[in-house]
Amino acid sequence: MTTVDVAAPPQALGDLILGLRDSKQVLAGETTRWAVRAPSLETGIMLAAQAQDELGHAQVLTALHAHEFADSEEGAERVGLGDPLNHPAALPFEPHTQSWPDMVALLCLWDGALTVMLEALAASSFAPLRNSIGKMCEEEAKHWFFAHGAAADLMAREGQVPEALREACKAMLPRVRHWFGAIGDLAPLRRDGVVPDAVPMARYASRLGPLLEDMKLTWPASDVAGAQ
């Protein structure tokens, strides 16, 4: 897609930025909670680093929205980090996961969804957004390696652990798919040329495919078509 800079970004993009920001705040809280109760010290260090990344991303997204979309200084103010706005565009995942398999499922599915969405926005024709997202995508890639490795670790264990991960993912999948259908397909932004004409859900389904296959879970084939 040719990056012809969009001068006046649509409000839908501002809404999505806030939704992503809220999602990252909630995810930061959850990764912080597990950093001090992780199954290993290395895992705890990884989660603490991810929490810091997520808070940094939330800060960048807040500043971006304030600069490009807020119509007044008062409108630009947001509540503190401990109280996300539950913006309609935010990922509707349940915080306060109860078990480590639940947390790994959240990292794979929900953080994976955030990653795919940011990658779509990194190719935006809106320069301030494009310029803000690049480093985020580098850090998101690191999060994905960890999530996928943690899932592989659980799948290799004995007893009920693999099934616990599978059940957690199975429970989350419909909500993720619904989010992509309702908010995350970016149809209005694709029509306006603000983001490339590729459906994020297809890319997400393609990326999650091998993991879901290992767990004997399926994603509708129609969603994978068009993945780039």
Partner 1 sequence: MTVTPERYEVFARRQPLDPLQHLGGVTATNAELAYAYALTTFDEEKWRDVAVVSRRHIYSQTPIAG
Q: Which residues bind partner 1 (CB under 8 A)?
A: 40, 42, 45-46, 49, 142, 145-146, 148-150, 152-153, 156-158
CB of 143: closest distance to partner 1 in angstroms? 8
Q: By the 8 A CB rule, do 125 and 5 touch?
A: yes
Of 157 and 178, CB closest to partner 1: 157
Of 68 and 214, CB closest to partner 1: 214
CB of 76: closest distance to partner 1 in angstroms? 32
Neighbouring residues of 138: CB distance < 8 A, sequence distance ≥ 6: none
CB of 96: closest distance to partner 1 in angstroms? 24
Of 157 and 191, CB closest to partner 1: 157
Taking the CB of residue 64, how many other CB atoms lie within 10 A of it? 21
Among residues 138, 224, 118, which one has the least CA distance to residue 177? 224
HSE-CB for 108 with a 13 A CA cutoff: 30
The per-residue DSSP string of 69-117 comes to T-SSHHHH----TTS----TTS----SS-SSHHHHHHHIIIIIHHHHHH
Taking the CB of residue 45, how many other CB atoms lie within 10 A of it? 12
Place of tokens 């490339």: 196
CB of 47: closest distance to partner 1 in angstroms? 10
Q: By the 8 A CB rule, do 89 and 15 touch?
A: yes
Q: Which amino acid is at 86?
A: N
Could you tell me the two tokens for 54?
Answer: 């997520």
Of 30 and 223, CB closest to partner 1: 30
CB of 43: closest distance to partner 1 in angstroms? 8
Of 1 and 152, CB closest to partner 1: 152
Of 36 and 221, CB closest to partner 1: 36
Could you tell me the two tokens for 118?
Answer: 């940011």
CB of 226: closest distance to partner 1 in angstroms? 27
